[in-house]
Every structure is written in C-alpha cells, then in structure tokens.
Amino acid sequence: MVSFCISPDVFLRAEAQQEIRHYFARYHDGLPTEADFAQWLRGLPNPIRAIYIHNGLAIARRELSFRRYVLEVRGYSLCEHLRATLSAAAFDLWLESREYGTSLYPNQVLEEQAARFTEIMHQQRTTLLALMHNNQAA
C-alpha cells in the first residue's frame, strides 16, 4: 500500500486561486479605456512601457497586471476581496507567497517580458542588418 501526505498548503493555495478567479471575473474587455491604458503605462518602468506601447491596448487587456490595475482603480481591491473571502490561513499564505504577490506590477513577470522584448528587438535588428548587407552586395 502506497501512502503519501498532501501539504495543507495545497488546499489553501487552491482556495486562494479560486477566489482570485472570482476577483478577475469582474473584469471584462470593455472595461479599460484608452485613458486607463495611458495612466497604467505612466507607472511602468521604461523597458516594460515600450513593450506595452508596441503591443497596444488590445494585448494589454489580456495581461493580469493591467486587469488588476483597472479593477483596483475602479475600487475593486484584490487584497480586500481576498481578505473578505479567504480563510485566515489562506489569506496569510497568499500574502507571504511570491507566487501571488500583492504588487500591481509583478516584477518577475515584467522582467521576463522585458528580456523577451530585448531578445526580439535584437533578432529583428540582426535580420535587418543582414538584409541591408545583402542588398548592398547585390
């Protein structure tokens, strides 16, 4: 007979994830405006801002950080929602967890996006220089 132990954290994380989904259910694509997007962009670091300016509002509407920003501006605080709906243990775990965080701009995700954007820009520059070189040689 095989036995194993499931950490209580698994259930607490599942509780938090379900309530986070409920929180984001308040969001819909028509909610953010161009003004929301412009205001959100002003709060981003320059490399990240460049990514979102390049991608535009339609892409930003899919990003959880932008969705959360819009909801927070409208008075729907994720932290307050979770405080009101989670058990004390699940809420404490959420506050302590880097996975969920409490920042409107999750730094790790933004840094990864900035690195990806920089890599794409480098690839495009390399391709463009190669094309220019081939055109000059022809």
pLDDT of residue 103: 38
Q: How far are the Cα atoms of 2, 44, 104 from residue 75, in angstroms, in the given order?
A: 49, 20, 14
pLDDT tens-digit readout, 25-57 = 887 756 788 999 999 999 888 888 899 999 999
Percent of the chain with pLDDT over 70: 72
pLDDT of residue 32: 86
Q: How many residues comprise the chain?
A: 138
Paired tokens of 122: 């480098």
Q: Where are the domains of the chain?
A: 8-137
pLDDT of residue 116: 62
Nearest Cα to Cα of residue 16 among 76, 108, 102: 102
pLDDT tens-digit readout, 49-77 = 899 999 999 889 888 888 888 988 888 88
Paired tokens of 58: 């339609």
Paired tokens of 108: 């790790």
Which residues are CB-neighbours of 120 under 8 A, at least 6 positions away?
Answer: none
Paired tokens of 124: 């495009």
pLDDT mean across residues, the chain = 78
pLDDT of residue 106: 43
